[in-house]
Amino acid sequence: MSARLLRVEVAPDSLFGPENLPYGVFAPPGGELRVGARLGDTVLDLVALLGDPIFARPDLNAFLAAGPDRWRTVRARLRELADAELPIDAVHPINGVELALPVRIGDYVDFYASIDHATNLGRLFRPDSEPLLPNWRHLPVGYHGRAGTVVVSGTPVIRPRGQRRTDSGTPDFGPSRRLDIEAELGFVVGAGSPLGVPVGVDEFAEHVFGVALVNDWSARDIQAWEYQPLGPFLGKSFSTSLSAWVTPMDALAAARIPLPTQTPQPLPYLRGTEDHGLDIELAVAWNGEVVARPPYARMYWSPAQMLAHLTANGASVRPGDLFASGTISGPERDQRGSFIELSWGGAEPITVGDAERTFLADGDEVVITATAPGTAGRPIGLGAVSGRILPARG
């Protein structure tokens, strides 16, 4: 008996047409985790569809390690199959599967690449000084985060506890009172690099597989007390949310744009000949209400420069490593990608529903989505990254 076949119907206005095809890891009802691709409102089971054991895994890492030629061959085949009749057991409704963290993350680095965000925080934290520190226009500032607390979208976020500054000069310890978000774009490393060999700016496409939305949850009161002189630590490491879907860089070909002018000109190792900016617009929804639309096109440092700087000292990268852009913000208030900026440090509350709000309360939910120009002349979606705040424990 021949296998039952069906053709996946994709709405004309879908953000997940055959020009997109992001990858993720899912489990069908009663099944094990394996790799899939999203088409419309369905998930294509790549093990059943392609018969390739590289996809019979609970993460994308083996596929990432296979390199760009393999990525492009598989993508071309999936685009062909998207218009064909497919075995019914290879197609699952997206609302009927369990989604998991798409990659096994060995290292996580978070940058600080938005000039608008860095300027806003400089004005808030150092009102009597220049907002940008002297190194900011010379290198992509970043810190090494905690890979073990990167969680898949939808995982609840437990309010962190930590030390907080007090007026007495002696800190106290307790739940964060200034819990915040950071709307970011994450870049997933595919092919690794050898220890001791830097990755050049224009070698980006040979090493980075795709992008995924990130929310780098931040406890601003814990962060403000601990960050000098070594930078972020417990105020960041409690949770970072990652979208379940990784959009291949090839799907973003129509979103490539020049970077804003960089002054002064970066040092030679941070210069490239290609356009590595990206025209991506995010939307931040707080309890279902969109409060900001951060524009990634405004980012000062490109992901290619971030990767070049990350490896400039000879540090290697491995398949599945993640580096994120830092908060994405624009020059207007409704383009700010964090609540510390939107509320100007708590001094200018935001109206959310019927309430005036500054930072996150227990029970709040934040959902970040994004769209970009697609190669078919219509927008594509980058999925969503969401999380709901639960009370502190202990």
**112 has binding-site annotation:** yes
**CA gyration radius for the chain?**
21
Residue 369 identity (one-letter amino acid): T
**240 has binding-site annotation:** yes
Q: How many CA atoms lie within 13 A of 190 on its CB side?
A: 23
Taking the alpha carbons of 117, 123, 358, 160 in that order, is the dihedral positive or negative?
positive
Taking the C-alpha atoms of residue 196 and residue 365, their distance in angstroms, rounded to an integer, is 43
Does 117 participate in catalysis according to the annotation? yes
**184 has binding-site annotation:** yes
Q: Are 102 and 59 in contact (CB under 8 A)?
A: yes
**182 has binding-site annotation:** yes
Taking the C-alpha atoms of residue 392 and residue 42, their distance in angstroms, rounded to an integer, is 36
Name the catalytic one among 92, 117, 207, 276.
117
User: With left for phi above 0 and alpha for psi between -120 and 50, is residue 345 left, alpha or beta?
Assistant: left
**236 has binding-site annotation:** yes
Q: What is the separation of C-alpha 110 from the centre of its chain, rounded to a whole number of angstroms?
A: 10
CA dihedral 309→312→313→314, nearest 10 degrees, is 120
Q: Are 191 and 64 in contact (CB under 8 A)?
A: yes
**108 has binding-site annotation:** no
Sequence-ordered list of residues with C-beta below 8 angstroms from that of 266, at least 6 positions apart, any chain = 138, 139, 305
Element of type H or E holding 307: helix 303-310
- SS3 for 353? coil
**223 has binding-site annotation:** yes
Please tell me what DSSP assigns to residue 7: E
| DSSP letters spanning 97-142 | SEEE-SS--S-EEEE---HHHHHHHHHHH-TTS-SS-TTTTTS--E
| DSSP letters spanning 169-214 | SS-EEEE-SSEE--EEEEEEE-S---TT-PPPGGGGGGTEEEEEEE
Question: Which residues contribute to the annotated binding site for Ca(2+)?
Answer: 110, 182, 184, 216
Question: Which residues contribute to the annotated binding site for substrate?
Answer: 112, 126, 223, 227, 327
> Catalytic residue numbers?
117
Question: Which residues contribute to the annotated binding site?
Answer: 110, 112, 126, 182, 184, 216, 223, 227, 236, 240, 327
Question: Which residues contribute to the annotated binding site for Mg(2+)?
Answer: 216, 236, 240
